[in-house]
Homo-oligomer: A and B are copies of this chain.
């Protein structure tokens, strides 16, 4: 039942029409099965043949078949349990993954010129209410407070308010950030940190509206990102976008993305 694509006895080049690039055997099998699933031919709950049988059908060893099925399971398309065999997973909920792009890339990607201007920069002792932005208790230590504006074609694009921990972000105190966005600098200075994000809609306050050249009360998209390394907070940032001309976009199948893919350039 299904896929006439059986083994091709022997090494058999076995070039399929839509070969594309990563034309390894298991990638080929993965793609074929994935299409059966998203095409609806294998509905959720569908019981697949056992590994050895599928391996036979596709003319590969069990190891190769295992790799293919394992990746499909890792990507959420299949559920595998010992003894019970392999089934097509239930697409759980209407969940989705969504990427928040880097601001500079986003502006440049839309064909506009990018610029960052610093509005204010202050090195001051931490205050209790700073905890709201960084998500951690702030001792009496010094923190670096910044406010700046990202511009697209010299028009306000995003208002950034940021706290940096000089203790963990080495060299931050020596940076003036007059034209270099702190996010870009931190990316190099604090590699592979862990971040949590929060996205909300808020009405623009008086000061926000003035800086973004909006009417007071206009809807804005607010993103708060808190970054930590190990147990120490590194930075907390609030990004405010005019709701009218900004949006997050994702284009994925439910459950799991197409995989960021290792893919070197």
Contact = CB atoms under 8 A, between A and B. Distances in A.
A91 B191 contact: yes
Given A75-B260, A99-B95, A260-B256, A201 B243 contact: yes
Task: Determine the interface band of chain A, counting residues with CB < 8 A from chain B.
Answer: 35 or more
A168 to B, nearest CB: 10
Contacts of A253: 192-195
B99 A97 contact: yes
Nearest to A37: B192
A264 B81 contact: yes
Interface in A199-239: 199-203, 217-222, 225, 229-230
Contacts of A217: 203, 217
B80 A262 contact: yes
Contact of A195 (B100, B183, B252): B252
> Which of A103, A198, A243, A255 is the most central at the interface, judged by chain B CB atoms within 10 Å of its CB?
A243
Contacts of A218: 203
A219 B195 contact: no
Contacts of A40: 191-192, 229-230
A25 to B, nearest CB: 15
Given A79-B262, A253-B192, A95 B101 contact: yes
Interface in A69-124: 70, 73-81, 88, 90-103, 105
A229 to B, nearest CB: 6
A100 B91 contact: no
Given A196-B252, A201-B219, 4 more contacts: A40-B191, A96-B195, A199-B247, A219-B220
28 contacts: A38-B192, A44-B191, A76-B261, A78-B262, A79-B264, A80-B264, A91-B191, A91-B193, A93-B101, A94-B100, A94-B102, A94-B187, A94-B195, A95-B100, A97-B98, A97-B257, A98-B100, A194-B253, A195-B254, A196-B249, A196-B250, A198-B249, A199-B221, A203-B217, A203-B218, A219-B219, A219-B220, A219-B243
6 smallest A-B Cβ distances: which pairs?
A201-B243, A93-B102, A73-B262, A201-B201, A219-B219, A199-B248
